[in-house]
Amino acid sequence: MPAIALPATSGQSVSLANLPNRTVIFIYPMTGVPGVALPDGWDDVPGARGCTPQACAYRDSYNEILSYADVVFGMSNQSTNYQTEFRGRVHLPYHLLSDLNGLFKQGLNLPTFQLHGITYLKRLTMIISGGVITEVHYPVFPSNHDAAWVIKTLQEQGRD
């Protein structure tokens, strides 16, 4: 993992080079806000829609995932304030990381798409063990099945 620290909704900075032994990071483009329209054309971008169902699937599977992993993070390039509102609204037990400045995206050359001049991260999930990415799920579709993929993959890896 690159030696990058990202702000988290916990109020702390998370060093990606010093993650716990087994970490799950699921990356998503953008969560919406009730009553605020998504950008024009959002639904026409393959894989853009489904961030909230994905995050909620991780919420609902959180305890089972933690029986195999040490920590779970969601990540987007939205601001920490935006993510904090979302985390509270949908009652997420895990924290979200903000790659607002694109350091992680650049460090790993993550896949992106552009819409109206804004670059968004494509949906991708990583399992990291001892600072090394051991599994990648890409493309992620449907988004609400991603947490089940993580559980199955972690079960196959076994617990250290």
Mean pLDDT by 10 residues, the chain (160 residues): 95 94 96 92 94 97 97 97 96 98 96 96 96 96 97 86
pLDDT at residue number 103: 95
Q: Are 154 and 64 in contact (CB under 8 A)?
A: no
Q: Look up the domain containing 92 and give its range.
A: 19-31+44-157
pLDDT at residue number 160: 55
Total structural domains in the chain? 1
CATH classification of the domain holding 149:
3.40.30.10
Buried b (16+ CB within 10 A) or exposed e, 41-54: ebeeeebbbbbbeb
- Identify whether 39 is part of a domain: no
- Identify whether 142 is part of a domain: yes
- Identify whether 12 is part of a domain: no
CA distance 114 to 93: 30
- Identify whether 9 is part of a domain: no
pLDDT at residue number 20: 84
- Identify whether 36 is part of a domain: no
- Identify whether 140 is part of a domain: yes
Q: Please identify every residue annotated as catalytic.
A: 51
Q: Are 22 and 160 in contact (CB under 8 A)?
A: yes
